[in-house]
Structure 1
């Protein structure tokens, strides 16, 4: 798992957002999720994939929202959203611990993205690190690096790649 120091080295000290411990407790986060948000943080921006600077549509980051899922109500913590879709948000299911990508339109839809918040942060960190490392790489050098990265991420969270049309499967298919 990426550390706060690694995150700030990659993104910049002012480009990693952490949550205050008191706020994490107030929101009712588990110890594991509080550790990720308070001690490691989330990047403010990862091109195409993630931003905390969400548009006016939908709830703001670190807002707790009650939602009905499968006939029962659960609470989710909004984390941010994709940079290219202002109506979608990454959310932490606070009871089950997994991260979903949810649309907040008239008919909300959700897809599980990662098993844990730590997995999401690691995936974002590793994707951004890949982008940095391959910035000036020749096309033939990108594939092997990406293949090794996907192998590492699959070992960490097999569920994230379980379906060919899952979020992370599609992301890595597009970047090759």
Structure 2
């Protein structure tokens, strides 16, 4: 093989003839060549060995498989060409105790190469100053890819569909920091993006009904888009069904975008002393699955009245823009919250952070996100800077006496806005 001037890699013609490549695939691989790199989604620079680049393997009795490259850097995900059928397959080898997984990613080698080229061009190009410009470019790329090989987008969990969705999420994340949501529908989509980034999975109603043992699932009514007007205003409440995690995470994700979500009422008498144990049990269940996952419904409210949670997260947004790790309902325990702060900060020795734990969330907020009790905030950094940001919430702010004392937010009587 030889590296071309345009960072392409070609197959030796003798190998191509020996394995019986169809003429179109032979010309493509031996003359035009494969793009050498498409970011993390395709690369020809994969580890040598039995599954090295352009190695040939028996696929079945009368058909070879030709390794084309890989995804990632560890060689655990490989693309190969089914020479007889002409399809390109993604092979995920997994660990030693796991069964390999296969997925046909493109129906022809030509389609695969065009996919790799378009995605690679996007990945190599500088990001636009305005994230929306990159978003518009990705829309055009997705439209082109669907025209080239519609089967690759037949389901949202197909490989290339997930690649494009991931690139769009990256743009959406940049857009959130670049400018506020332009409408309720935009804010709703951004909230779902936040949950996706946190590990939640948005599934169809049918999959939700069948995946009774899975954690971190969300599903929306089939007609939920009808709840928004043509200009994106939320005109009626939207129910979101969930399974296997904490409702405080859902409520906070929507509050970041200025949307009010009502969560189910907590149990009444005698439940307060069990809040911590219940929160830990739910979180550990979501992480490790030791028991059947909880499930329920939260409701995004069509209301012009904001919530205390939304106000607090606006203040957190200002602090995040100044370099703070500012997170609501970060973990059930304060020590666990600090561990996550250390994972996210660029300077573990001198962190700047403000957060509360899930236990505080469950006891301090009523179902729609208004404070009914004191909310204790862990913090590190400049107390005056934090106090200034929190003052904008209109809540009562109790500043700490020293570094070992928490900030406290308490309800305040004031007109709703």
Give the TM-score, by structure 1 length.
Answer: 0.83
* Residue 105 (structure 2) pairs with residue 113 (structure 1): yes
Q: Give 1:2-81 correspondences, 5 Å limit.
A: 13=5, 15-56=7-48, 59-68=51-60, 74-81=63-70
Q: Over aligned residues, Cα RMSD in angstroms? A: 2.2
One of 74, 77, 81 as aligned partner of 1:88: 77
Equivalent pairs, count = 163
1:90/1:102 contact within 8 Å kept = yes
Within 2, Cα distance between the matches of 1:57 and 1:18? 18
Q: Give the structure with higher Rg (CA).
A: 2
Change (3 A) 1:96 1:125: same
Segments of 4+ in structure 1 off by > 3 A?
Answer: none
Equivalent residue number for residue 130 of structure 1: 122
Q: Are 2:163 and 1:171 aligned? A: yes
2-side partners of 1:56 and 1:118: how far apart?
25
Residues 22 and 56 of structure 1: CA distance in aligned 2, closer, same or farther (over 3 Å): closer
Structure with greater strand percent: 1
Distance in 2 between residues matched to 1:53 and 1:130, nearest whole Å: 19
TM-score normalised by length of structure 2: 0.37
Does the Cα contact within 8 Å between 1:164 and 1:170 map onto a contact in 2?
Answer: yes
Q: CA deviation at 1:27?
A: 2.2
Superposition deviation, residue 158 in structure 1: 0.3
The Cα offsets for residues 52-109 of structure 1, whole Å up to 9 and x where unpaired, read as 22125751111111135xxx76421111110244222100011110000012355222
Please report how far the alpha carbon of residue 139 of structure 1 lies from its aligned counterpart in structure 2 after TM superposition: 0.5
CA distance in 2, matches of 1:101, 1:58: 17
Gaps of 5+ in 1: 1-7
Change (3 A) 1:53 1:133: closer
Provide closer, same or farther for how the CA distance between residues 134 and 64 of structure 1 changes in structure 2, counting only shifts above 3 A.
Answer: same
Q: Which has the higher contact order (CA 8 A, sep 6+)?
A: 1
Q: Note if contact 1:64-1:77 (Cα within 8 Å) is conserved in structure 2.
A: yes
User: Does the CA-based 8 Å contact 2:38-2:123 persist in structure 1?
Assistant: no
> Aligned pair 1:98/2:87, yes or no?
yes
Q: 1:30 and 1:56 mapped to 2: Cα distance?
A: 26
